[in-house]
Homo-oligomer: A and B are copies of this chain.
Amino acid sequence: MIDRLISAIEEKENPSVVGLDPTLEMMPQFLKEDMFRKFGKTPKAVSNMFLEFNKAIIDEIYPIVPSVKPQIAMYEKYGLEGIDCYLQTVDYARKKGLIVIGDIKRGDISSTAGAYAGHIEGCDIEGIHFDLWQEDFVTVNPYLGSDGIEPFVKACEKEKRGIFVLLKTSNKSSSEIQDRLVENKPLYIHVAELINKWGKNSVGSMGFSSVGAVVGATHPKEGVELRDICPNVFFLVPGYGAQGGKAEDLKGFFDKNKRGAIVNSSRGIIAAYKKIEGAKEEDFAKYSKDAVLLMRDDLMKAFK
């Protein structure tokens, strides 16, 4: 799957991923009104408006981005109806040929991690296989150590999918735990070494393993350092745009072949119409497409 992701980035000449993280606040008024009229002021209405919103954006962007990353928390907030929308979004995006990174950040002890690994390996019921979640990649949390990660690593090998392990996250307080000095090196360096180990058996033909890492765009210095320590680890880079990460800071996250990272933007893309004066709400998805093209050009310029 990591080879497929790299190929898709190169085909579309766009190392970016669109975060499908809808909120009620960013819904266009006409869509809100329509769904509240049909379903009342209910989670079902929110689920339906998020789905219409996501589909319209996917329809505009699927030819120009390799991947989308729905953040499950935004859907989980609205209970079962919300999760239903998440699942339908994943399904729709895959049918359009997009690679789906499920931002689920799960992590637990071994047997339980095995159950969460169902996100990428599905489940078996009396010999019948069900791929109920369908994500191509998921994000996972390393705080519990190897036995919480290994079920995912095995699932990746079996199903040819992938994971991104939280390494150095984009938020400010990431330093509270991740930067603490352990044997004179920040903890995230030790996590990076674990990630190298977890991925060593799954390095694909393009030089990267199925076990990637999340490294925030807000930490350019650490990005360069980690690129060097983890030559075979593909980076998922959140924090560009709304969180303050800039294209010129991102060069170091890529290797000399301009490979090795995919940069996420969520609000900056999907809520683009909100930032444009006089924007026609009905055209919200077209503004998202424009924002994708701007982001692509911004990233590409930084490579030159």
Contact = CB atoms under 8 A, between A and B. Distances in A.
A133 B107 CA distance: 20
Interface stretch (A70-78, A205-213, A295-303): A70-78
A135 to B, nearest CB: 12
Contacts of A128: 41
Interface string A69-100: 00101101111101110010000000000000
A48 interface: no
Contacts of A116: 73, 76-77
A74 B118 CA distance: 9
Contacts of A169: 109, 143-144
Contacts of A125: 24, 41-43, 45-46
B73 A80 contact: no
A229 interface: no
7 contacts: A41-B127, A45-B125, A73-B106, A80-B87, A144-B173, A147-B172, A187-B187
Given A78-B132, A133-B79, A177 B142 contact: yes
A79 B130 contact: yes
A170 B111 CA distance: 12
Given A76-B116, A80-B87, A115-B76, A43 B132 contact: yes
The complex is assembled from copies of this chain, and their number is 2
A133 B80 CA distance: 9
Nearest to A116: B73
B118 A76 contact: yes
A41 B148 contact: no
A107 B105 contact: yes
A74 B42 contact: no
Nearest to A183: B181
A283 to B, nearest CB: 24
Residue from A74, A110, A125, A128 with most neighbouring chain B CB atoms (10 Å): A125
A299 to B, nearest CB: 22
A147 B118 contact: no
Contacts of A126: 36, 41
